[in-house]
Structure 1
Amino acid sequence: MLINQTYFIDSCDDVELNIKRESKLEFKLTYDDSKEIEAIVCVINGIGGDIKDDLYISDYCARNYNVAVLNVNYHCIGNRPQTGAEFYIDDIDKMILKVSLDALGINNLPIDVQALKTYDEFYCVIDVINKFIERLKKTQELDENYLLYLSLGFKPTKNEYQNYGIMQTIDVLNALLYTKTKILKNNNLKVILTGSSHGGYLANLCAKLAPWLVDVVIDNSSHVTLDNNLWRFVGFGKEVDYIKYCSAGITHIFKNVKFAAFD
């Protein structure tokens, strides 16, 4: 019979930054208990995905092969709107907005940038600015193709944070070890890690931190060099160049405003 079970276990605290974990580690295991399981296939999601995205893959592999399929909601996996993240603004976002308005010469609008506290307030202000820019375009004071570039942040679910893979990788390893020893109770199972983009990066990092545990890595287009936009995930991109080093670009909220978003 096909088993599809979700587990919640204790995982690691962030010892490096001395931050206590506030939530359990969630992972899903799919396998056919009538088969002799030979390996664990861990499908590691990239940014913008979670364990809900791999239901078909898990089901297909478990039905057709002698494998158990593991999917892990690793640390800070909910860091995009489609996985539950919410927008927020910080002091740098407000500074960028103020400097941008000054550069445009827009200082006659009744806007107190420093008084903004929530994304909803920020949204209402940008709505006014977007309409103001549209009027400037109609009077040909601005080029028709002009876009105002601003920044904002993603507030991840579970009050977690992006630390570039360390906590995430340890979560995947903890889920693998728990599955081997506590659920399937077979330490001799082969471990196959597969992931794309950020998931591929985490698969490689798992093999680096625990080479004795990982047998195969299948990496689809992970970000592994600074040449292919790895800068977007290193951190401090907003402080260095918020347009060039943004984590994600958002283009369709307003016609005349483009947001560079950060986690």
Structure 2
Amino acid sequence: MNTKTALITGASTGIGKEFAKIHASKGENLVIVARNEEKLFQLKNELEHQYKIEVIVITKDLSQPNASKEIYENVKNLGIEIDYLINNAGFGGLGKFHERALEDDLAMINLNIVALTILTRLFLTDFVNKNSGKILNVSSTASLMPGPLQAVYFATKAYVTSFSNAIAEELHDTNVTVTALLPGATETEFGRISGMEKTAMFKKTASAYSVALDGYNGMMAGKIDVISGLTLSQKIMMAGIPFSPKKMILKQIRKMQEVKNA
């Protein structure tokens, strides 16, 4: 049986780390990418010991301009054939757009959009040439609506979902699939780093493992979209968005993202 190697970005924590564990548990090899070298090597040692697989570590900051191409070239130089690409790395940030540091939002665009696009383009060519491969792009339910107080983050995720869906259809006559994972609020470092953990939107979060499992299984099944981690009330809200006045939705989302002081 041929081993399937997955490349996972943002693999040191949260959903990315859970993706790595799920893939490793199937006896498959990994290339894990993130900025935190120490955490990556901890994960490598854990997974190699537990599952007797091979884990390659690539330490990169994907918000930097040439990082995506360097990752691809690194993989090629090592002679590794990637079968599954999981673009998980991403970050958000809370605040009014005109008050936030422009550099932070540009770095967010570089990571959430540019790096994902470049990695998808580079590996997709290989997948199409061999007529085999799967891509999972981690988007968000935020992609389905505008996000006052997280204007750039919601917009970047709208790009990810639209981009992934379009490519999925372009590949209809191949054995290559592209899946978008749209989690709701998830228990990861994202909430703390983005400042969202003190908001109503993050009052109830799904586990990173459950979201990763839904995404991984959806990728394997070749689904176009996988929505995961929503409470019943969130599902009802999502279903009502297309039929609700936009001004009302914008106000509701803004209130959900306002920081509640304890």
Relative to the length of structure 1, the TM-score reads 0.33
Structure with the larger helix share:
2
Larger radius of gyration between Structure 1 and Structure 2: 1
Relative to the length of structure 2, the TM-score reads 0.33
